Amino acid sequence: MSSRTTTTSLPPRSSTSAAGGGPGWKILALACAVQFMVILDASIVNVALPSVDRDLGFTSTGLAWVVNGYLLTFAGFMLLGGRTADLFGPRRMLTAGLTLFAASSLAGGLAGSPEVLVAARVLQGAGAALMAPTALVVVHTHFTEAAARARAFGAWSAAGGVGGMAGAVAGGAITTGLSWRWVFLINVPIGAALIAATLVLLGRPTTERRESLDLAGALTGTAGLAALIYGVMQSGDHGWTSAMTAGPLAAGVALLAVFAVVEARTTAQPLMPLRLFRLRGVAVGSVLLAVFGAIGIAMWYFTSLFLQDVLGYSALWAGLGQTPAAVTFMLVARWAAGLLPRLGARALILIGGAAFLAGFGWLSQAGVDSGYATHVLGPTLLIAIGIGLVFPTLMAASTADAPAEDAGIVGGVASTANQVGGSIGLAILATAAGAATAAETGRPAAAALAAGYDRVFLIAAGLALALAAIGLLLPKRPSSPAS
């Protein structure tokens, strides 16, 4: 992209007004609403898939791309989305992302063929990739004091929990009461309202500077991430050694290697300045967020499958069965905001890791004869406590030292690490579950599946130990945010 005029937004409001009921709460509400919308749309479609299939006639493998198309572009374009927020301003990029998201949702709701719906989901993911890191920029630049920023990240994280919980329950209710099309169409009025709020709340630019987007970095980085994630997605159907999996994985690694060389040699305005990884919070936080992504998949995705495949719950009841954990996560995330400035990131990650270890260890003992109250509710509440402590802590720690002009790309790096970790974790854990299930020859299907899911929960307990160990590399106390 050629050089063009870009902008910086109005100076951030003080943390006091932002955190204490002044105009800043409206900006925080906007960032939380964007996060809610992004996470909601990643989960709300799952329950509607059988109805979508009946109406549009997908192939057995094509239906998965209603989900994968969104996730692929969402994770693949977040680095680009983060950097464009830095260069062109959060007001402009959040408006663009919301517009693309709402328009593609309208196209998806009106889709008359599988091809149109998948294309709409791909565009939705691209819109979400602009929205998610830009919302982080808004939080980063409007909440500059450590305690206020911690509270803001707690609220932002809790909004994601609300979105995940609402998606699991609302998808079934909307599909049953209205139509699967309203799973998409509901985003149109919400998107319009958020666009209006963005234009009102985020100030107009006050200064201008000439910058150009790192086109070579954008192409190699985005293509590399997309190829890597696509290869991981293919592993479930074709295995890790298949050309359908190994080819995209190899291409992704090669493109990311080229991306690293391009970024190291770009001196003007690289898409991802490698100097940022000299900041301990960015470097260690990215690794931790990738591990945490896999842990989150083990909790929300595989617990839902356990409730349905082993205990025989419907999709709607499985969503309701996870609601206590989602509510716990939201409450603890807000509580963690007050603990972070006092205890520091390292302590909260260690406590959260212990909750993960205990919860997944307990959950791994569940089987076909287990009761919800005795073998699911308790461990998922423990895991939710860990998520509530760890997720906002990692987001705050990984962005705390970022200069204001790089807030978008650091948010993009953090979000990308989390999404890529979740995608790779899903593929690896699904493979482990499948192998353990296949080994249970001669047993009833539910019992064999229980063995597979128990294997996943044990692996998640091991990931909790890794999370705690890597967390020791973080500073004991949060440093003052860069301005």
Q: For the chain, list the domains and their CATH numbers.
A: 1-214 (1.20.1250.20), 276-483 (1.20.1250.20)
Q: What's the rounded Cα separation, in Å, for the pair 79 and 415?
A: 8
Vertex 360: Cα angle to 355 and 362 (nearest 5): 100
Q: Which two tokens stand for residue 247?
A: 């080819």
Please say whether the beta carbons of 213 and 269 come within 8 A. yes
pLDDT given for residue 211 in this prediction: 58
Among 87, 99, 187, smallest CA distance to 137 is for 87
pTM given for the model: 0.74
pLDDT at 259: 83
CA distances from 471 to 157, 197, 420, 476 (A): 19, 37, 19, 10
pLDDT at residue number 132: 83
CA separation for the pair 87, 10 (Å, rounded)? 14
What phi, psi does 13 have (nearest 5°)?
A: -65, 160
Q: Classify the phi-psi angles of 89: left when phi > 0, otherwise alpha if psi is within -120 to 50, otherwise beta.
A: left
Residues composing the chain: 483
Res 23: pLDDT: 54
Rounded-to-integer distance, Cα 385 and Cα 325, Å: 8
Residue 239 zone, left/alpha/beta (φ > 0; ψ -120 to 50; rest): left
pLDDT for 360 equals 94
Which position has the token pair 């003007």?
268
Residue for token pair 């955190």: 19
Residues in a beta bridge with 209: 6
And the tokens for 442?
């001669």
Helix/strand/coil for 14: coil
pLDDT of residue 201: 82
Residue 337 CB neighbours (<10 A):
25
Tens digit of pLDDT at every position of the chain (483 positions): 333 334 444 434 434 344 444 457 788 888 888 888 887 777 777 767 777 878 888 765 677 678 778 877 887 787 778 778 777 788 888 899 999 999 999 999 998 888 899 899 989 988 998 888 888 778 777 776 766 767 777 777 777 767 776 776 777 677 767 888 888 898 899 899 999 988 888 766 554 445 566 677 778 877 888 888 788 777 767 777 888 888 888 998 998 888 888 877 765 677 777 777 888 878 888 899 989 988 887 777 788 778 878 888 876 777 778 788 888 888 888 788 778 878 888 889 999 999 999 999 999 998 888 888 889 999 999 999 999 899 888 888 887 776 766 666 777 778 778 878 887 887 788 888 888 888 887 788 889 989 999 999 999 999 999 999 999 988 665 444 443
3-state secondary structure of 290: helix
**Residue 97 and residue 146 in contact, taking contact as beta carbons nearer than 8 Å:** no
> CA angle, corner 69, sides to 432 and 86, nearest 5?
105
CA–CA separation, 44 vs 26, rounded Å?
A: 26
Which pLDDT belongs to residue 18?
Answer: 42
**What is the structure's pLDDT at 382?**
94
DSSP character string of 38-105: HHHHHHHHHHHHHHHHHHH---TTGGGHHHHHHHHHHHHTHHHHHHHHHHH-HHHHHHHHHHHHHHHH
